[in-house]
Structure 1
Amino acid sequence: MTTSFGGANTAIPKDPKLLRVPTSFNGLQSASNSLLLSKRLHVYHSFSASTAGPNSIIRAVSTPVKPDTSVQPKRSKVEIFKEHSNFIRYPLNEELLTEASNINEAATQLIKFHGSYQQYNRDERGAKSYSFMLRTKNPCGKVSNKLYLVMDDLADQFGIGTLRLTTRQTFQLHGVLKKDLKTVMSSIIRSMGSTLGACGDLNRNVLAPAAPFARKDYLFAQKTAEDIAALLTPQSGFYYDMWVDGEKILSAEPPEVVKARNDNSHGTNFPDSAEPIYGTQFLPRKFKVAVTVPTDNSVDIFTNDIGVVVVSDSDGKPQGYNIYVGGGMGRTHRLESTFPRLAEPLGYVPKEDILYAVKAIVVTQRENGRRDDRKYSRMKYLISSWGIEKFRTVVEQYYGKKFEPCRELPEWEFKSYLGWHEQGDGGLFCGLHVDSGRVKGTMKTTLREIIEKYNLNVRITPNQNIILCDIRQAWKRPITTALAQGGLLQPRYVDPLNLTAMACPAFPLCPLAITEAERGIPNILKRVRAVFEKVGLKYNESVVIRVTGCPNGCARPYMAELGLVGDGPNSYQIWLGGNPNQTSLAKLFKDKVKLHDLENVLEPLFYNWKRKRLSKESFGDFTIRTGTEKLQEMVDKWEGIPLGASRYNLKLFADKETYEAMDALARLQDKSAHQLAMEVIRNYVASQQSGK
């Protein structure tokens, strides 16, 4: 059966329930404070499943609200908070005016839409000391010179003195007190920044490769990410009402974005609503989008609800996009019905259709994602339940066209963009590694001085690093010197394990943390390096390690070669099997591994990888090929490294005085004496070899 959508004939599912025009969950009901007048949309089908002809049309008719006498479906508490909020205003607007240091339960949920989480210091005992974390929204990770300097100032004046770079290319500012929220928020907004939608049940920050290449495909991908971010930005004004007294400080939107948002040709919008795409209920849960170009998987493309890949012709001119759907990392311990999932191909669209296709996917999730149990509300569960064919068919109703098959693409690579690179326009950019994304101390001061002195714009990467952009050739030497003096080393001087490692903040401020992540990963990486050296792995060999303090997966541990997921005090699940290109999903290997027992698991795994791997086989690929059963056997039967097997180790210290001096120097660099000594030896050997 087909239906006419503006002249396009499209197959429709046989189940009429799949053809309903969008309504917010439980309808557009009036808010409890009587501030909202709303309408309910009704679908009038001019067909039946057995008799409808080819000219059947689906029409949305807006009618007055009538008393609803039907049994109401079960809804989560958050859905009720949203419905009664007057588009994310009430009771947050009242709670912010109270003398208390915290806000109530409903306001705590609503402030997420404004880009903030309420937290308290879990290291402290007694009365809770509440503060707020603010997260910015920076499509493509772009941060202007002005905004960077303002964020740096705010961290010192109102935060805990640090900035954090996130895995979604944004800043997090921790420790802001309730009484300072409006000052901080308004400062960000007036500096052309935003926190709107950085958290909450709506589209989050849109990722794109951070590299400022002057190439058609990269520029096109970044422009697409910015357009998608604009398309899915809330329109009801609640953010500006709350923080800048209703003043909208915005640049003009591209006309194609406005046109796509307002288009209701296929029943995607709520007519006459302050939120034409989101309605009063917004989405069932958070929604993540990433855009990239072929080969560049710096954005972990398959972990997103929607992954968009630019497809270009032989001359490098963008023609359209492959779209992938259904990725997501979050899960719940010991609940197998929750799981991480990779996105899968949906189809190809020409470049002029991308905003309409994205909108159709979002609306499909808005209308069909679960709103009764938030554990299952992400789009990945809808697609897992329906299957990709049914999902594609429903999306096509809102899109108004059939998707073409995805175009074939080359192999993916992870690209960090660390070090110095040509932009392609005469300028340079410099990618800097930041451990766990935490900008603090001397590093923070140095970055501030360089960015301010040279008037540089910056970009945040999805791997928690930072890129200094638009550097003139003449500035390279003085900037390199200043960076080194501030402890920001070129990648060749950073341990390879650290370069790809990631961790979430976890303790002390995250309310969901079960154990350490950011504070624990430096020691974990040192211990992994020590195991590498013990089993004879070379210094330049590495594995992708990601650590999270809970199963929600903010640092994407389920894509790591070695993922550590907090499951108790000083205890982790171990996940194995991701690969360096971030295209395969790890599998759970062991539960409840105590931190002090980590070597007992890792030593046999790394030892066997060293000796049984295929040519150039990564650790993750080795674990998948070997299989869980044999890996478990390796661990269970491990009796230590056979005598003579570790022939590359050196006895580095002959006397106590030398060791103590090296240990003192190593502590300044957050390293062990053994690590620092090995680095000195390697650098000396390399310099001698290069001088021959």
Structure 2
Amino acid sequence: MTDIITRLREVSFDDLHPNERLKVDSDYLRGSLLKGMADTATGAVVPDDTQLTKFHGFYMQDDRDVRNERRQRKLEPLYSFMVRLRLPGGRISAAQWQTLDDVASDYANDTLRITTRQTFQYHGVFKENLRAHLKTINDAMIDTIAACGDVNRNITSTANPHRSALHRQVYELAGEISAHLLPRTRAYHEIFLGEERVAGGPDEVYEPLYTQHYLPRKFKIGLAIPPDNELDVFANDVAFIADVGEDGTLNGFNVAVGGGMGTTHGEPATYPRMASVIGFCTTEQVVDVAEKIMLVQRDNGNRQDRKNARLKYTVDTMTVEGFKAAVEEYLGYELAADRPFEFTTTGDQLGWYQGEDGQWHYGLYIENGRIRDYPANNPIHAGMQIKSGLRAIADMHDGDIVLTTNQNVIITCVAEKDRERIDAIIDQYRMVKNVTPMRQHSMACVAFPTCGLAMAESERYLPGLLDKLDSIMKKAGLENDPIVVRMSGCPNGCSRPFMAEIGFVGKAIGRYNLYLGGNETGTRLNKMYRENIDEKTILEELTPLLHRYASEREAGECFGDFVIRAGVIKATTQGLDFHEQ
């Protein structure tokens, strides 16, 4: 195999995507950011630097709700940054929560947003507040390095490391992989934390894994423990699926490659894909296998067309067997044969439950992951004080607080004597409302007003649509049935809509593509059912289908399975025919 430096020495930058030259010329992600951060005449940074900020964990955005008004007033857009944390496995201490809560109030828009990759992101961080924001969380032993950009991003793990010794072991492996695949450049520390630059050395000193080329596109890894698949492990570039012995011992992991959700409307060469299982590795081999899969992608991924640069396209270009052979060549040994496994759910455990050691944990539902205090006149969340309530819990709690990939929170390791206190806080701050199973299994991306890619509303719209769908469900006698519903404001699919039983993907303001046929275990892609429809049509389409499901379903049959059996859509069988989408 030819490594990336050798291969690209033979290729003109004119034949590559402009970002490839940008990375090489960036002085290991420094660019002109030091100068740009000091420019107080604008809230923005120059275009090239907007690409580099992603590697450091934040995106430049502007408030699209006020864009036209500011244009009319001849003002620049209201620029700010979305800041995302690197938080492998989603675990933070109560003391860290206090800091992150303070940062939201002092330097952001007074909210925290749990992402579908088990971390926090902040919105509305103005350039003049960015350094203070990053320094404050750094003092709490948290950073944003590689939370975005063409690198390995935040690693997800089966929720709650305190649930059992096995969960703790898998969580720790997620941290080991994250640390091993972290970029080595000190640009972040120099530009944003005030570290003095040390005289440089050869390329390999700066980036022994990434080189100055980094990866062709983002790279995501997840670790799951069957039968729970709450992190939708097959949506990852690399999926590690635990194999556990009868005595609870972790034997190792099935390895799957090539998952990814992002597509582009109208371009069939882009598509969602589920990861393909290529073998099995021992626990001791996990970090090595993760590295070598990443290096095969580094050296073979598409650097001409970023829309086809994810690992899923590399796997399809090389074929699954060809990609596996390349990984084994880099490893110097063969992967073992994969082992059987089964997933049964993608949902979180909410309310009180006990872990293996008898400690209590509380799963708290957070609609679409937005942690904020709502005014009394909010039509959906009237008077819910979620941010203040969680801060009150953090102030009295000795355990950890864990984020989930379903955008919820787990308050862990609660002593028996403290359960009543936490229940009282939850009641005092009105943190829990009546949540139907459908709503509990729903997710939405951020979309408007901050995401520059959004074509339609998502986070702000889905709760109201769910109210109407819940009403239909109740009339059909389905109010106690879980159906996985997800909405994304664009086809990048951050909320993993292509794996939902009912998926909505934004096409334009007020219009969505409707997808049906995923399943409740996260093991099948859905398919487009109707294109570019408004809410009226959405309800007209789903109402008779939900009533048919109520009257015609078989025992234990989920909605996604029903629409396939009933012939509403064609089966996808793991998404092997995803090119047809």
TM-score by length of 1: 0.77
From the superposition, tell whether residues 71 and 533 of structure 1 become closer, same or farther in structure 2 (CA, over 3 Å): closer
Q: Which residue of structure 1 lines up, in the alignment, with residue 387 of structure 2?
A: 444
Q: How does 1:211-226 map to 2 (within 5 A)?
A: 211-226=160-175
Contact kept? 1:24, 1:280, Cα under 8 Å: no
Q: Does 1:133 align with 2:76?
A: no
Taking the aligned partners of 2:119 and 2:16, their CA distance within structure 1 comes to 31
Aligned length: 548
User: For structure 2, which runs of at least 5 residues remain unmatched after alignment?
Assistant: 374-384, 572-581
Partner of 2:2: 20
Report the CA distance between 1:545 and its aligned residue: 0.6
Residues 95 and 394 in structure 2, CA contact (< 8 A), matched pair in contact too? no
> SS of the residue aligned with 2:157?
coil
Measured after TM superposition, the shift of residue 294 of structure 1 is 2.1
CA contact (8 A) 1:323 1:347 kept: yes
Alpha-carbon separation, structure 1, partners of 2:243 and 2:272: 27
The verdict on how the C-alpha distance between 1:73 and 1:81 changes in structure 2, with shifts beyond 3 A counting, is closer
Instruction: Report matched runs for 1:335-374 at 5 Å.
Output: 335-374=267-306
Q: Is the 8 A contact 2:84 2:119 kept in 1?
A: yes
Say if 1:273 and 1:279, in contact at 8 Å, map to a contact too. no
- In 2 relative to 1, CA 424–537 (structure 1 residues): closer, same or farther, beyond 3 Å? same
Q: Distance in 2 between matches of 1:228 and 1:327?
A: 18
Superposed CA deviations along residues 641-689 of structure 1, whole A, max 9, x for unmatched, are: xxxxxxxxxxxxxxxxxxxxxxxxxxxxxxxxxxxxxxxxxxxxxxxxx
The corresponding residue for 1:579 is 519
Measured against aligned partners, the alpha-carbon deviations of 1:486-543 in whole angstroms (never above 9, x if no partner) come to 12228xx422221111000100010000010000011110110122233x22321231
Q: Which residue of 2 aligns with 1:376?
A: 308
Contact 1:218 1:292 in 2 (8 A): no
Partner of 1:87: 28
Indicate conservation of the 8 Å contact 1:110/1:200, yes or no.
yes
Q: Which amino acid aligns with 2:233?
A: I
Superposition pairs of residues 210-609 of structure 1, within 5 angstroms:
210-246=159-195, 272-441=204-373, 442-489=385-432, 493-534=434-475, 536-609=476-549
Instruction: Give the letter aligned to residue 446 of structure 1.
Output: G
How far residue 623 of structure 1 moved from its aligned partner, in angstroms, is 1.3
Distance in 2 between residues matched to 1:449 and 1:140, nearest whole Å: 23
Match of 1:120 in 2: 62
Task: Classify 1:25/1:94 alpha carbon distance in 2 versus 1 (closer, same or farther; 3 Å).
Answer: farther
SS in 2 for 1:23: helix
RMSD: 1.8
Separation in 2, partners of 1:243, 1:271: 22
How big is each residue's C-alpha offset from its partner over 1:119-150, in whole Å with a ceiling of 9 and x where there is no partner? Answer: 00101122311011100011110112222111
SS at match of 1:134: strand
Distance verdict in 2 for CA 1:76–1:421, change over 3 Å: same
Q: Are the equivalent residues in 1 in contact too, given 2:354–2:361 (CA < 8 A)?
A: yes
Change (3 A) 1:537 1:403: same
AA aligned to 1:277 is L
For 2:363, give the aligned amino acid.
G
Distance 1:475 1:629 in 2: 50
In the alignment, which of 623, 630, 643 is matched to residue 563 of structure 2?
Answer: 623
1:458 and 1:466 in contact (8 A); partners too: yes
Q: Give me the whole-angstrom Cα distance separating, in 1, the residues matched to 2:281 and 2:26.
A: 37
Query: What is the CA-CA distance between 1:588 and the residue it aligns to?
Result: 0.8
Structure 1 unaligned residues grouped into runs of 5+: 1-18, 28-67, 249-269, 632-692
Once the two structures are TM-superposed, the CA of residue 462 in structure 1 deviates from its matched residue by 0.2
Identity %: 34
Corresponding residue SS for 1:272: helix
Give the distance between the partners of 1:522 and 1:194, measured in 2 at CA: 31
2:516–2:569 CA contact under 8 A, matched in 1: no
For the 8 Å contact 1:450–1:479, the answer to whether it is kept is yes
Out of 72, 76, 85, which is 2:17 matched to?
Answer: 76
- Where does residue 91 of structure 2 map in the other structure? 142
TM-score normalized by structure 2? 0.91
Check conservation: 2:204, 2:211, Cα contact below 8 A: no
1:626 CA displacement: 2.4
Q: Which runs of 4+ in 1 moved over 6 A?
A: none
Q: 1:101 and 1:496, CA in 2 relative to 1: closer, same or farther beyond 3 A?
A: same
Matching residue of 1:152: 101
Higher relative contact order (CA 8 A, sep 6+): 2
Which has the greater radius of gyration?
Answer: 1
Contact residue 105 and residue 111 of structure 2 kept, 8 A:
yes
Deviates more, 1:217-226 or 1:277-286: 217-226
Whether the 8 Å contact between 2:94 and 2:397 is mirrored in structure 1 is no
AA aligned opposite 2:50: T
1:109 alignment partner AA: Q
The secondary structure found in structure 1 opposite 2:256 is strand
